[in-house]
Amino acid sequence: MDWIKDTVNRVQIGQWILIAFGLIAGVGAFVIGITDNIPGILTLTFAIACAVGVWVWNWRSPRRFWILLGIAVLSFPVGVVLHNLFYALGILAEDYQILVGILGFLEVIFFLLAVLVAGPAVVIALIGGIITSWKGITGTAKSNRSYRRFIESHLISEKILKQFVNLARLSASGANRQPLKYILSFTEERNQKIFPTLSWAGYLKDWKGPVEGEKPSAYIILLGDTTLASSFQYDAGIACQSILLGAAERGLGGCIIGSINKDTLRENLGIPDPYVILLVLALGKPGEKVVIDDLEPEGDIKYWRDGKDVHHVPKRGLDELILDL
């Protein structure tokens, strides 16, 4: 029953509040009565909106909200048609009691889908889609933190990884040499060859790195092609940032790992000599909360975790960064 414990632990305070409102409204609706009773139907609609809100709470990519919007809009006419279809079939099948029962059940399900679920889902999808689309570059940069604990069961496909590398391909490159090459990893077998070669969060002395269930589900390894250039660090940094911003936009996240056992990684993946290993990007669906703190002029730059397991990253203020010369 570990997954139940895990799921409950992952539910955030805002979701608990929505669950509470949803339950009160749901029970309230049935107490008031929902048959031909507008206040009861509206209360039940509110309860369903709360349930949809809990479901989409952690969505960060506008794409998912727009897909939900499309499905929700379509589910109204589809629900109406199927409701009427099962109603008609129920009349035709009146001699077969079991069939009448099944068709009656389906008729009610599609009625509820069309009349009660489609509306709240459209509203939530619209609000979520607009909010996540309006995040802009500042919002995306803020949500682009270094995440080291993930929801490992959330897989990232090869197609998505290629889209990320395409962002790096479109990025700036010194003298436009474009000397970076990439290895993608999204299978358990290859991931297992990479994970043990990485070192995590040097400042967190008591933390050994992500455990089973919170490991990254994908990696992008950045290599420098020595036949094309001899220095790669600027290009590699820019490429990592492009990829991580792309990940943040999709509601994913990652961590740049520079502390790598390069000999073992080279051996594990059979990386040939002309390529130098630069950085590894560990990627996944973030499974931890990371916040930025203001760093006082004499404060400590070390990141840390509080009692609630929230990861804090102190950042120097703008006044300290911009020199008034």
DSSP string, 149-195: -B-TTS---HHHHHHHHHHHHTS--GGG---EEEEEE-SHHHHHHHG
Residue 48 or residue 260: which is nearer to ligand FMN going by CB? 260
Q: Is 247 in the site for ligand FMN (CB under 6 A)?
A: no
CA angle 135, 286, 235 (to 5 degrees): 70
Q: Pattern of binders to ligand FMN over 62-101, x per CB under 6 A?
A: ----------------------------------------
* Total Cβ atoms within 10 A of residue 103: 21
Q: Which is nearer to ligand FMN, 153 or 259 (CB)?
A: 259
263: buried, middle or exposed (CB in 10 Å: 19+, 13-18, 0-12)?
exposed
Give the distance, in angstroms, between the CA of residue 202 and the centroid of all CA atoms in the same chain: 25
Pairing of strands 180-185, 218-225: antiparallel
Stretch that binds ligand FMN, among 4-12, 104-112, 181-189, 194-202 (CB under 6 A): 194-202
Provide, rounded to whole angstroms, the least separation between the CB of residue 54 and ligand FMN: 27
Residue 79 Cα to chain centre, angstroms: 29
CB of 220 to ligand FMN, least distance (A): 14
- Nearest residue (CB) to ligand FMN, 119 versus 237: 237
Q: Which of 51, 201, 252, 278 binds ligand FMN (CB under 6 A)?
A: 201
Q: How far is the CB of 68 from ligand FMN (least distance, A)?
A: 29
Does residue 83 contact residue 110 with C-beta atoms inside 8 Å?
Answer: yes
Find the shortest distance in angstroms from Cβ 125 to ligand FMN: 30
Minimal distance, residue 292 CB to ligand FMN, in Å: 7
Residues 6+ apart with CB under 8 A from 242: 167, 168, 170, 171
CB of 303 to ligand FMN, least distance (A): 5
Q: Which of helix, strand or coil describes residue 256?
A: strand
Shortest Å distance, C-beta 201 to ligand FMN: 4
CB of 87 or CB of 200, closer to ligand FMN:
200
* Binding flags for ligand FMN, 251-290, as an x/- string (CB under 6 A): ----xxxxx------------------------------x
Distance (Å) of CA 262 to CA 88, 201, 212, 221: 68, 18, 23, 11
- The two structure tokens encoding residue 220: 């992008």
Structural contact between residues 198 and 259, judged by C-beta atoms closer than 8 angstroms: yes
Task: Report in angstroms how near the CB of residue 20 gets to ligand FMN at its nearest.
Answer: 32
Cβ 272 to ligand FMN, closest distance in Å? 24
Does position 238 interact with ligand FMN (CB under 6 A)? The reply is no
- Minimum CB distance to ligand FMN smaller for 69 or for 255: 255
- Nearest Cα neighbor of 30 from 20, 50, 44, 47 is 44
Do residues 150 and 218 lie in contact, with contact meaning Cβ atoms separated by under 8 Å?
Answer: no
Residue 303 touching ligand FMN (CB under 6 A): yes
User: By the 8 A CB rule, do 61 and 132 touch?
Assistant: yes
- The contact mask relative to ligand FMN for 104-143 (x = CB under 6 A, - = no) is ----------------------------------------
By CB under 6 A, the residues from 139 to 178 that bind ligand FMN are: 145-146, 148
Where do contacts with ligand FMN occur on this chain (CB under 6 A)? 145-146, 148, 199-201, 255-259, 290, 303, 313
